[in-house]
Amino acid sequence: MGLISSKDLLENAKETNYAVAAFNIHNLETLKAVVEAASELKSPVILQTTPGTVKYAGLSYLHAMADVASKENDIPVVLHLDHAEDYDLIVRCIDSGYTSVMIDGSKLPFDENVAAVRKVVEYAHPRGVQVEAELGRLVGAEDDLNVSEYESSLTNPDLAAEFAEKTGIDSLAVAIGTAHGLYKGTPRLDYDRLKEIKKRVSIPLVLHGASDVPDDMIAKAVEYGINKINIATDIKIAFVKAMKKYLEEHPEESDPRKYFTPAIEAAKEVAKHKISLAGCKNRA
């Protein structure tokens, strides 16, 4: 099939009220786990790479692996650049064949965020690449914010509508209480805020930091309008735990094929669960 843009996928998810699962991959093994899970469940899938992963694995390698996966599996596959702040890197990824990019200007003042995002949109759209951006600040799990700081970090529904209109983005990542990494306690998701954003914004909404969030909370977020969920930490933890277990039981083993196999299977099971939770099973 070849790599596709996520624009139509996410628009369909918005119209029929489900989410597409997006997974951060780092190498061949994590890519295989995610794509095999999606293929077995007949689900579309978004493969995400951070700027750090691009630096680690190499842009050409990542695109080549994703391209092969998209052609050997009869499901829609998207290759997405996640949380990029460097315009030049975004351009390089688009030119190399990425079909979706995220420009993260969430740390910037509103007008500067708009300008940075608009610049990416003007480059990406003529080349058939969809653009995601973020308004509000997704805190880290280790952040210790007081109530007023916490509230101010979340997405303002009125500003979200203005932001989407001024930038021309295809999807909007919203901050409603999730965080990157693992949580110290149970996360607090502001569903009322999500519903207000949904009323004001016509484009698909994205939930970052969906790892380590209870299933019922993710399901409720999808019900209230989230159309893409981002998973990174849950995949990494499952992969590493399975590999460590194998090596503890076989300390003499030096063949990567042996210890990567159970790691792939463990990550694959997590991916299957998240795909089912998002509601994108049998949506390919």
160 is in an annotated binding site: no
Q: DSSP secondary structure string, 7-32?
A: HHHHHHHHHHT--EEEEE--SHHHHH
232 is in an annotated binding site: yes
266 is in an annotated binding site: no
250 is in an annotated binding site: no
The residue type of 181 is G
**Among 5, 107, 45, CA closest to 274:** 45
230 is in an annotated binding site: yes
d(CA 91, CA 93): 5
Residue 37 CB partners (closer than 8 Å, separation 6+): 43, 45, 268, 269, 271, 272, 275
25 is in an annotated binding site: no
| 82 a catalytic residue | yes
Which residue in 8, 74, 82, 215 is the catalytic one?
Answer: 82
d(CA 139, CA 153): 8
Token digits for 90?
Answer: 């975004």
Sign of the torsion angle spanned by Cα atoms 113, 208, 154, 107:
negative
233 is in an annotated binding site: yes
58 is in an annotated binding site: no
80 is in an annotated binding site: no
158 is in an annotated binding site: no
8 is in an annotated binding site: no
Beta bridge partners of 131: 101
Q: DSSP secondary structure string, 133-190?
A: EEES---BTT----HHHHHHHSPPHHHHHHHHHHH--SEEEE-SS--BS--SS-----
Query: What residues act catalytically?
Result: 82
Annotated binding site for Zn(2+): 83, 104, 134, 180, 208
Annotated binding site for dihydroxyacetone phosphate: 181, 209-211, 230-233
Annotated binding site: 83, 104, 134, 180-181, 208-211, 230-233
